[in-house]
Amino acid sequence: MSYFDFNNAEDQAGFDLIPKGTLVKVRMTIRPGGFDDPAQGWTGGYATQSQTTGSVYLNCEFVVLEGKYARRKMWSLIGLHSPKGPEWANMGRAFIKGILNSARGVHPGDNSPQAQQARRIQGFQDLDGIEFVARVDVEKDQNGEDRNVVKQAITPDHKDYAALMGQPSAPAAPQQTLTAPVSPPNRPSWAQ
C-alpha cells in the first residue's frame, strides 16, 4: 500500500482579515455562471443566476497584486438584476463605473467624450482580468464569520490613487488632458 507522507509539509498559514478600509490594487476575474440574456447584453456565460432568488450577478474574485497583502483573495458579487427591484442592479452599475474609472484613470467628474468612451465596454469579457484600486470591506459570510469583500473602486480623485496604481503623483486637479479643449491643428515647426 502506498501513502503520502505529510510530516514535512508546512503548517497551515492563518490569515487575519485585511483591515476594513485598506486600499489595495487588485485584479478582478469573473467566475462564469453560464447565464446569458442577450436582450440585456449578458452574453459569454459570465453572468450567474441564483436558482433560489432569481437574481443575476457577476461572481467575482479579487486578487491583491502587491504590497503586504499580495496574493490574498476576496470574493464579491456585482448585482445585475433582482426581482425585488432596481436597487441591486443600480449599485452594480455604479460599482462597474467606478472600476472602469479606476482601471482606466478617468476622474469621476470628467464627462468629456474620451471619458465617456472609457466607461463603455463591449461585454463582461472586458471586465475579466481588469486591474484597479479597491477599498477592502468586511462583512459576515453565511456562517456568521467575518470575511473580506470588495464593494468600492478608488478613482483618480483619491489622494492615494496614483501611488497605488504605480503612477507618478498626479496633479491635484482632474486630468487636464481629458478635459482641456482641443486647439485647432497648427503646422509643426519642422513642416513649415
Using an 8 Å Cβ cutoff, are 96 and 78 in contact?
yes
Closest CA relative to residue 179, chosen from 102, 105, 122: 105
Per-residue model confidence as pLDDT tens digits over 123-171: 999 999 999 999 999 999 889 999 999 999 999 999 999 999 987 654 4
pTM to 2 decimal places: 0.80
Could you state, in order of their start, the residue ranges of all structural domains in the chain? 23-168
What is the DSSP code (8-state) at residue 10? P
Per-residue model confidence as pLDDT tens digits over 12-67: 666 789 999 999 999 999 999 999 999 999 999 999 999 999 999 999 999 999 99
H helical segments located in the chain: 87-104, 113-118, 161-164, 176-179
